[in-house]
C-alpha cells in the first residue's frame, strides 16, 4: 500500500481536478466512471519485485512502460526513436537501427533481431517492415528470420493473427499470407479511381478481414472466409476521403466494425457498422481520433479524440452498445494515451501521469 500511495502522491492538484470532474460521474442510469489510482511518472520507481501479471502497457512521449494487475509500475524507459509496443513486450528502436531487441514488460531481453527496417508486433509475432516499405519478414523466438517476402508495391496497411497475416498495398491489393509467409490469396479492390488500401484489421479467429481502400469513392469492405478463401460479404461507400491510414477495428463481442471518417468540412466522426454492413451509429468527434477500445467485460466503448482547433485539448467519448453517447469528458494535456487496464479498467495518460479509470455499474 505504501508503494501505491507514493505513486499517487505526485500531481495532487491534477488528480483532484480530474476526480471532481469524473467521479462519481453517471453514465446513464447504470454506469459510473471513477479514478481507481494514478502514477506520477517522474516520481515513480519501477520495480518488478512482487509484480502480479498480466501487465498493461502505456506510452506518453518520451516515456513508455508497463503496470501490473495491481496498478504498480514494473518498467519504464525513454523512447529512442520509435516504439513497437504491446501488452506482451516491446522493441524500442532508433530511426537508423539495424538491430532490434525484443523485451518483455519487465525489461528482460527475449530475442535480438539483426534486420534493417521497422518492427511491427502483432498477435505475439515479431515482423520487420523493410526500409524501402515493400518487404516484410517474420522473426522467431531465437532471433532467426523465419521468412521474408518482397512486394511489387509499397505496403500501406498490415495486420496479423497467430496464423494469418494480411498486407494492404499501394496498388489496392490485399495479400493474405499463411504462417509460413506463403501467399494464399490476393484480393483486388477495383471500384475506386485511386485503388489504395488505407486500413485493414483481421479478427482474432482469422475468419473476417475488414479493409478500407480507395479514393473516389472510399470504400469499406468486409471479407469472410468460406472454408476455402475470403469472399466479400458487403461493400459500403464512405462519405470520407481520407488520404492517410484509416483506423478501422473489429469489436467482436458486440458484433461491430468501427472506423474513423472525415467529411468535406474536415469534421471527424466514428462510423459503427454491424457485420452485415448496416449502420449502427455515426458519432461526431471533437477532432481527430487518437485511440479507441472496448474495456474487457464492459458494455461500453471509449474513444480518445484530440481537438484540431484548440491546442492541448482532448475529449473522452463514451458510448453504449456502439449506438448511444453516454458521456463526453473534456480535459487539457500536451499528450495523452488511452489503453486497456487491469480487470477491465482503462489507462488514461495525461502528460506525465497515468490514471486508472474504472467503468462500473452504479
Out of 7-11, 126-130, 309-313, 331-335, pick the least confident: 7-11
State the average pLDDT over residues 90-101.
Answer: 90
| Cis omega (within 30 of 0) for bond into 314 | no
pLDDT of residue 3: 38
Q: List, for residues 307-328, the tens digit of each pLDDT value.
A: 888 889 999 998 876 567 878 8
pTM of the model: 0.88
Mean pLDDT, the chain, as a whole number? 86
Q: How far is it, in rounded angstroms, from Cα 112 to Cα 115?
A: 9
Q: List, for residues 48-92, the tens digit of each pLDDT value.
A: 888 889 999 999 999 999 999 888 899 999 999 999 999 999 999
Buried b or exposed e, range 232-254, using 16+ CB within 10 angstroms: eebebebebebeeebbbbbbeeb
Q: Return the residue matching grid coordinates 490485399.
A: 174
Q: List, for residues 181-214, the tens digit of each pLDDT value.
A: 999 999 997 778 889 999 999 999 999 999 999 9
If we measure between CA atoms, which residue out of 91, 82, 129 comes closest to residue 112?
A: 91
Q: C-alpha angle 95/98/104, rounded to 5°?
A: 85
Res 31 pLDDT > 70:
no
The three cell numbers of residue 124 are 505475439
pLDDT band at 30 (very low <50, low <70, confident <90, very high): low
Detail the DSSP E strand segments found in 239-352. 248-251, 256-262, 268-274, 279-284, 287-293, 300-307, 313-320, 324-332, 336-340, 346-350
Phi, psi of 20 (to 5 degrees): -65, -35
What is the β-pairing status of strands 118-122 and 89-93?
Answer: unpaired
How far is the first Cα of the chain from the last one, in angstroms, to the nearest whole number?
26
**How far from 96 is each of 11, 82, 93, 180, 350, CA to CA, in Å?**
36, 10, 8, 28, 29
Amino acid at each position: 500500500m505504501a508503494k501505491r500511495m507514493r505513486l499517487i502522491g505526485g500531481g495532487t492538484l491534477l488528480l483532484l481536478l480530474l476526480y471532481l470532474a469524473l467521479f462519481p460521474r453517471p453514465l446513464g442510469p447504470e454506469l459510473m466512471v471513477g479514478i481507481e489510482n494514478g502514477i506520477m511518472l517522474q516520481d515513480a520507481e519501477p520495480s518488478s519485485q512482487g509484480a502480479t501479471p498480466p501487465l498493461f502497457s502505456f506510452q506518453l512521449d518520451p516515456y513508455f512502460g508497463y503496470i501490473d494487475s495491481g496498478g504498480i509500475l514494473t518498467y519504464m524507459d525513454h523512447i529512442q526513436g520509435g516504439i513497437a509496443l504491446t501488452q506482451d513486450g516491446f522493441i524500442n528502436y532508433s530511426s537508423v537501427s539495424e538491430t532490434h531487441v525484443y523485451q518483455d514488460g519487465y525489461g528482460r531481453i527475449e530475442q535480438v533481431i539483426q534486420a534493417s527496417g521497422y518492427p511491427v508486433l502483432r498477435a505475439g509475432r515479431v515482423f520487420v517492415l523493410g526500409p524501402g516499405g515493400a518487404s516484410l519478414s517474420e522473426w522467431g523466438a531465437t532471433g532467426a528470420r523465419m521468412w521474408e517476402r518482397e512486394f511489387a508495391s509499397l505496403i500501406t496497411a498490415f495486420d496479423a493473427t497467430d496464423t494469418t497475416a494480411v498486407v494492404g498495398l499501394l496498388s489496392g491489393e490485399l495479400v493474405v499470407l499463411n504462417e509460413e509467409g506463403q501467399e494464399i490469396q490476393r484480393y483486388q479492390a477495383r471500384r475506386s479511381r485511386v485503388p489504395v488500401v488505407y486500413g485493414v484489421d483481421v479478427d482474432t479467429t482469422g475468419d473476417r478481414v475488414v479493409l478500407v481502400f480507395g479514393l473516389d469513392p472510399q470504400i469499406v469492405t468486409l471479407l469472410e472466409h468460406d472454408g476455402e478463401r475470403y469472399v466479400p460479404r458487403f461493400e459500403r461507400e464512405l462519405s470520407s476521403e481520407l488520404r492517410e491510414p484509416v483506423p478501422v477495428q473489429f469489436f467482436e463481442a458486440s458484433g461491430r466494425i468501427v472506423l474513423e471518417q472525415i467529411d468535406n468540412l474536415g469534421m471527424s466522426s466514428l462510423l459503427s457498422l454491424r457485420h452485415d454492413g448496416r449502420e449502427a451509429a455515426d458519432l461526431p468527434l471533437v477532432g481527430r481520433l487518437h485511440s479507441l477500445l472496448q474495456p474487457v467485460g464492459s458494455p461500453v466503448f471509449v474513444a480518445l479524440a484530440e481537438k484540431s482547433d484548440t491546442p492541448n485539448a482532448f475529449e473522452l467519448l463514451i458510448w453504449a452498445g456502439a449506438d448511444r453517447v453516454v458521456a463526453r469528458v473534456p480535459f487539457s494535456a500536451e499528450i495523452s494515451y488511452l489503453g486497456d487496464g487491469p480487470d477491465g479498467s482503462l489507462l488514461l495518460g495525461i502528460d506525465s501521469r497515468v490514471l486508472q479509470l474504472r467503468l462500473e455499474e452504479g
